[in-house]
Amino acid sequence: MAGHTDNRILINAPLDLTWDITNDVAGWPDLFSEYAAVEILDQEAGRVLFRLTMHPDENGTAWSWVSERISDPDTRTVVARRVETGPFDHMHIRWEYSEVPEGTWMRWVQDFAMKPEAPVDDEWMTDNINRNSLVQMNLIKSKVEARAREAVR
């Protein structure tokens, strides 16, 4: 069995602003509540290789891994994958953005599988990702919408 999640949110902000803010990987610790630090390891047109470090968990462990994102501003899509997979056999994420009269739909589709020796299984991780995606998406929505309101002042 493999894990799959598909979450989206309507952000009442212009597509360009939403795209710019959510694709500024260096700024993710200010955008997401779960990330303590981002280290950009390599960057070139449309591609960024980076290390993400989370805030310590209840056991004091600060999880960290390297990921790669490739963005396509023409199609308003991003594909990402974990390079250092940790407990995952693989983790692939697709971000999609679409403009609508009310603002921007942002969608995250994640396909993954846990390693057999991982402390949790695919079903547990699917539930965890679905719960956390809603939290993070709502946080991003509020921050992007606040920036959009500031831009019209």
CATH architecture assignment, domain 3-32+71-151: 2-Layer Sandwich (3.30)
List of E strands, the chain: 3-11, 35-44, 47-54, 64-72, 77-82, 88-100, 103-114
Residue ranges of the domains in the chain?
Answer: 3-32+71-151
pLDDT classification of 33: cutoffs 50, 70, 90: very high
Predicted local confidence at residue 1, as pLDDT: 66
116: how many CB neighbours lie within 10 A of its CB?
7
66-117 confidence digits (pLDDT tens): 999 999 999 999 999 999 999 999 999 999 999 999 999 999 999 999 999 9
Tell me the pTM: 0.94
Instruction: Give the residue ranges of DSSP H helices in 23-121.
Output: 28-31
What integer is the mean pLDDT of 21-47?
Answer: 97
